[in-house]
């Protein structure tokens, strides 16, 4: 069995849906497990509806719901050829939009629980539309609800055992289908409530299911020919990277390569299932394979993570003292805030965080141990490849490339695959460009 995930643009219009189902077709005797995102733009609209409801503005929410309904109803004529499937899908969409409108009535008590239910509707709609299209085409396809097979644990992390058992059990209930469809992104939490795997989470769903079922491959189909060596939204003339080691892909995803959800590579790596990134606009293009092979002595790609805050704690008490760093890290742990980069000297430590929600409490606690300085609007630029310490000169090349850019922190040696620089957000573009010019030309 192959797991294939198709992102928002890949199912972004009736025309795209018709094209994309041609790729689902499993080889003779094989089965495809297809994970779909919401149609592009839909999750953003659902976020907007929720924003209005948080602000107790049901009128604002209704305007977006009406626009969305018009758009979806317009897709029916284009997607389906028969009256039967047009009516069936129209009935389903009517129920969906009635459901969305029901939240507007409860606007004064709107909470994150309701928001998660609203956000789940994008994937529920896209998967139902595509399954109906496949059925109309006479395909042996069946829709499995991700709400039955994907669950997170008490820490909000995916519960791989549950996912494995539930998916295997579901497949046994409906064994003889060629194409299984499910929703990306959405799940239940350990309380049984509807939840999600964060924005871009459909990649994560695919990797979790592929890992749980130990499939031959996990395919992530998107709108670009694989992982590029730099962010194509920012830098011109980026090139696809044909192969990445699991660890390299995980670093790139975590440090901002939007093509992959930040933590989706982890389960694939643990299960040893290769991940292939492919382009729905050009299905024959080779894309990128992510597997367990290390290409010695190559720098592969660069990525950047935005909205980083840097916190520096300086204290002469750190000099020759033990236990100082433990106290500092405990403050972050107590505030459930994870640290990305760390640099230390004899009298100080700088760390970066990407979640500012507990910043005030963290800074106030840290002040008990030293002088604290906070720098906002920073950006981590991460160079990924075979950067083991034995590869003489590789980190120098990266540093030389950005010799004209003020660097706030440098982190090297934490893993063999990454060197990271902390720069001001305003210097992000020229940092990425300078690295491309020196490392990949």
Q: Summarize as ranges the residues that interact with ligand ADP (CB under 6 A).
A: 7-10, 37, 200, 222-224, 227-228, 231-233, 257-259, 301, 303
Interaction partner, residue 143 (Mg ion, ligand ASP, ligand ADP, none; CB < 5-8 Å by kind):
none
What's the Cα-to-Cα distance from 312 to each of 52, 225, 255, 347, rounded to whole Å?
38, 40, 21, 11
Interaction partner, residue 201 (ligand ADP, ligand ASP, Mg ion, none; CB < 5-8 Å by kind):
ligand ASP
Question: Rounded to 5 degrees, what are φ and ψ at 26?
Answer: -75, 155
CB 10, CB 24: distance < 8 Å: no
The mark string for 312-351 relative to Mg ion (x by CB under 5 A, - otherwise) is ----------------------------------------
Q: Which residues contact 322 (CB under 8 A, 6 or more apart)?
A: none
**Torsion sign across C-alpha atoms 406, 342, 152, 360:** negative
Measured CA to CA, the distance from residue 152 to residue 97 in angstroms comes to 27
Smaller CB separation from ligand ADP, 228 or 428:
228
Smaller CB separation from ligand ASP, 201 or 256:
201
Measured CA to CA, the distance from residue 428 to residue 262 in angstroms comes to 19
Size of the residue set binding Mg ion (CB under 5 A): 2
Of 110-149, binders to ligand ASP (CB under 6 A) are 122
Look at residue 334 and give its three-state secondary structure.
Answer: helix
The residue range among 2-10, 177-185, 227-235, 358-366 that interacts with Mg ion, by the rule CB under 5 A, is: 2-10
Smaller CB separation from ligand ADP, 115 or 231:
231
The residue range among 48-56, 154-162, 196-204, 407-415 that interacts with Mg ion, by the rule CB under 5 A, is: 196-204
Smaller CB separation from ligand ASP, 8 or 58:
8
Give the alpha-carbon dihedral of 340, 345, 346, 349, to 10 degrees.
-30
User: Is 185 an interacting residue with respect to ligand ASP (CB under 6 A)?
Assistant: yes
CB of 28 to ligand ASP, least distance (A): 31
Q: Where are the beta strands (DSSP E) in 92-205?
A: 141-143, 179-183, 186-188, 194-196
Binds Mg ion by CB under 5 A, chosen from 200, 226, 274, 287: 200
CB 252, CB 290: distance < 8 Å: no
Size of the residue set binding ligand ASP (CB under 6 A): 12
Measured CA to CA, the distance from residue 11 to residue 100 in angstroms comes to 21
Smaller CB separation from ligand ASP, 223 or 239:
223
From 354, 335, 387, 332, select the one nearest 262 (Cα to Cα).
Answer: 354
User: Is 226 an interacting residue with respect to ligand ASP (CB under 6 A)?
Assistant: no
Q: Please give the residue ranges that form the binding site for ligand ASP (CB under 6 A).
A: 7-8, 37-38, 43, 122, 184-185, 199-202
The residue ranges that bind Mg ion (CB under 5 A) are 7, 200
């Amino acid at each position: 069995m192959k797991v294939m995930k198709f992102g928002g643009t890949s199912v972004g219009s009736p025309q795209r849906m018709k094209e994309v189902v041609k790729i689902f077709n499993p080889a003779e005797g094989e089965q495809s497990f297809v994970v779909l995102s919401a149609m592009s733009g839909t999750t953003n609209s659902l976020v907007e509806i929720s924003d209005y409801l948080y602000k107790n503005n049901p009128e604002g929410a209704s305007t977006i719901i009406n626009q969305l309904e018009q758009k979806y109803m317009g897709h029916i004529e284009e997607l389906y050829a028969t009256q039967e499937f047009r009516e069936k899908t129209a009935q389903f969409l009517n129920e969906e939009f009635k459901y969305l409108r029901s939240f507007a009535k409860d606007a004064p008590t709107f909470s994150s629980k309701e928001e998660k239910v609203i956000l789940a509707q994008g994937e529920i709609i896209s998967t139902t539309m595509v399954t109906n299209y496949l059925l109309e085409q006479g395909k042996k396809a069946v829709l499995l609800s991700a709400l039955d097979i994907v669950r997170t644990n008490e820490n909000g992390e995916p519960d791989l055992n549950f996912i494995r058992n539930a998916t295997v059990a579901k497949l046994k209930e409906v064994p003889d289908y060629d194409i299984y469809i499910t929703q990306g992104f959405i799940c239940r939490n350990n309380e049984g409530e509807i939840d999600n795997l964060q924005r871009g989470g459909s990649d994560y769903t695919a990797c979790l299911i592929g890992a749980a079922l130990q499939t031959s491959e996990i395919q992530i189909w998107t709108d670009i020919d694989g992982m590029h060596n730099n962010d194509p939204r920012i830098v011109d003339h980026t090139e696809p990277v044909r192969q990445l080691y699991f660890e390299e892909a995980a670093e790139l995803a975590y440090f901002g390569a939007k093509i992959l959800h930040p933590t989706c590579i982890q389960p694939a790596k643990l299960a040893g299932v290769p991940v292939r990134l492919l382009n729905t606009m050009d299905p024959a293009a080779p894309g990128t394979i992510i597997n367990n092979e290390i290409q010695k002595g190559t720098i592969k790609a660069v990525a950047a993570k935005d909205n980083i805050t840097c916190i520096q704690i300086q204290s002469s008490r750190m000099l020759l003292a033990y236990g100082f760093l433990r106290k500092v890290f405990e403050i972050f742990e107590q505030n459930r805030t994870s640290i990305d980069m760390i640099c230390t000297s004899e009298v100080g430590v700088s760390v970066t965080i990407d979640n500012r929600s507990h910043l005030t409490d963290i800074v106030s606690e840290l002040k008990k141990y030293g002088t604290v300085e906070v720098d906002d609007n920073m950006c981590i630029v991460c160079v990924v490849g075979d950067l083991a310490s034995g590869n003489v000169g590789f980190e120098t090349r990266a540093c030389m490339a950005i010799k004209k850019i003020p660097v706030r922190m440098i982190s090297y040696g934490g893993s063999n695959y990454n060197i990271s620089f902390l720069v001001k957000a305003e210097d992000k573009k020229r940092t990425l460009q300078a690295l491309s010019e020196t490392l990949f030309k």
